[in-house]
Amino acid sequence: MADNERKITPISDLGEFKLIEHLTNKNKIINESTEKAIGDDAAVLDYKNKKVVVTTDMLAEGIHFDLTYVPMKHLGYKSIIVNLSDLAAMNAVPEQVTVSLAISSKFSVEALEELYEGIYMACEKYGVDLIGGDTTASLTGLIISVTALGSATEKELVYRNGAKKNDIICVTGDLGGSYMGLHLLEREKNVFKDNPKVQPKLEGYDYILSRILKPEARTDMKKVFIDLGVQPTSMMDISDGLSSEVLHICKQSGVGAKIYEDRIPMDMQTRAMAEELNINPIVAALNGGEDYELLFTLPLADHDKIRNHPDITVIGHITDASEGTFMQLVGGNEVELTAQGWNPLKNKEE
């Protein structure tokens, strides 16, 4: 074999149990709550007097990711992040994850090693333990199912149903970047299909590419809230688009909302890519999804505590349910918010 040829090992050479052992032999335990991890019929956890918070997400090839432009290492990282983001939205501390895979024969052992490099990278960065999972065969592609577990005291937990009239509506970070990064990748994929010799034009768009390929979970906000002396009344992560998430909070809290177009934070690269593709950037923020920032509400009395924080933007306020859910445009007109965010089960013809 030439020096520049990569070794390709069929999964069948190892079989299920040796594959699991091969992929998890570098696993390290971080949290005291993990009593027993991989290696038995089940993991054993001890959370003592805290509440256990559990969430599960599944990523399917061709639906949630396209391996034409998503590296396996990035995919492994992202599969953990999307779950940790849900725990952050509950104001919980992530501690453990399980990873289950359905794998087709087109994947080699080396490809799965890259996937697990990303998984371990995310686990190390966010201080979580990989404690188990499952593997099985797939006839068509790759499916990744991750379950994440975390902890919080009863007082710390934040749900979607606590928003009150006159609460301020806030978001972390900036929105729409992931959506525009996806559009950029899809554009270059189509160019490549027409002419494989053409190099993709991705220069100058590192930020929006990182937003789609290597997002981060806002687990840091728990400490920020403590340092600022605030406790959100409701919260969720922005995975399906801002408009959908605002509507979720309003429905579960029995309230209305008014947000302002000119207050929605967006990065300059997001706006530039939207302009290049003739897309209204506000559409990216409202309907794009996969930003994994946090949407939360706070009592009006807390406004001065957060107003100067560089990573928190007040975008509106909670109203009475009878007033509905609207966005005020820059010109002063109002438009009703609709749930047009990403929905994998929606009929494409609707």
Confidence band of 196 (pLDDT split at 50, 70, 90): confident
Domain boundary among 95, 125, 152: 152
pLDDT of residue 341: 55
Per-residue pLDDT tens digits for 204-254: 999 999 999 999 999 999 999 999 999 999 999 999 999 999 999 999 999
Whether 167 maps to a domain, the answer reads: yes
pLDDT of residue 45: 81
- Kindly state the percentage of the chain with pLDDT values over 90: 77
Whether 301 maps to a domain, the answer reads: yes
Is the domain of 217 the same as that of 135?
no
Domain boundary among 152, 172, 195: 152
pLDDT of residue 349: 43
Q: For residue 93, list its beta bridge partners.
A: 151
4/98: higher pLDDT: 98
Whether 302 maps to a domain, the answer reads: yes
Q: Are 52 and 136 in contact, with CB atoms under 8 Å apart?
A: no
pLDDT of residue 41: 63
Is the domain of 221 the same as that of 93?
no
pLDDT of residue 339: 81
Closest CA relative to residue 78, chosen from 206, 205, 219, 210: 210
Does 9 have pLDDT greater than 70?
A: yes
Is the domain of 97 the same as that of 202?
no
Q: Are 128 and 148 in contact, with CB atoms under 8 Å apart?
A: yes
End-to-end Cα, the chain, rounded Å: 53
Is the domain of 83 the same as that of 225?
no
Does 305 have pLDDT greater than 80?
A: yes
Is the domain of 116 the same as that of 21?
yes
Is the domain of 185 the same as that of 318?
yes
344/196: higher pLDDT: 196
Is the domain of 30 the same as that of 126?
yes
> CA–CA separation, 226 vs 312, rounded Å?
14
> CA–CA separation, 314 vs 232, rounded Å?
13
Per-residue pLDDT tens digits for 37-62: 766 566 688 888 899 999 999 999 99
The CATH number of residue 266's host domain is: 3.90.650.10
Question: Which helix H or strand E contains 56, and what residues bound it?
Answer: strand 51-60
Whether 344 maps to a domain, the answer reads: no
Does 348 have pLDDT greater than 50?
A: no
Q: For residue 146, list its beta bridge partners.
A: 57, 99
Least confident of 21-35, 231-245, 307-321, 335-349: 335-349
pLDDT of residue 23: 76
Model pTM score: 0.89
Average pLDDT over residues 75-83: 98
Does 275 have pLDDT greater than 80?
A: yes
Whether 320 maps to a domain, the answer reads: yes
Average pLDDT over residues 60-81: 96
pLDDT of residue 350: 42
Taking all residues of the chain, what is their mean pLDDT, rounded to a whole number? 91
> CA–CA separation, 110 vs 285, rounded Å?
37
The residue written with tokens 């505590």 in the block is 305
Whether 1 maps to a domain, the answer reads: no
Whether 64 maps to a domain, the answer reads: yes
The CATH number of residue 92's host domain is: 3.30.1330.10
pLDDT of residue 35: 82
- Kindly state the percentage of the chain with pLDDT values over 70: 93
Is the domain of 104 the same as that of 202?
no
Per-residue pLDDT tens digits for 253-269: 999 999 999 999 999 99
Q: Are 181 and 78 in contact, with CB atoms under 8 Å apart?
A: no
Question: Which helix H or strand E contains 227, and what residues bound it?
Answer: helix 221-228
pLDDT of residue 42: 65
Does 279 have pLDDT greater than 70?
A: yes
Does 276 have pLDDT greater than 90?
A: yes
Is the domain of 276 the same as that of 181?
yes
Per-residue pLDDT tens digits for 99-123: 999 999 999 999 999 999 999 999 9
pLDDT of residue 293: 98
pLDDT of residue 161: 95
Is the domain of 124 the same as that of 237?
no
Is the domain of 134 the same as that of 213?
no
Is the domain of 140 the same as that of 215?
no
Domain that holds residue 302: 160-336
How many folded domains does the chain comprise? Answer: 2
pLDDT of residue 12: 77
344/4: higher pLDDT: 4
pLDDT of residue 346: 54
284/200: higher pLDDT: 284
Domain boundary among 122, 152, 182: 152
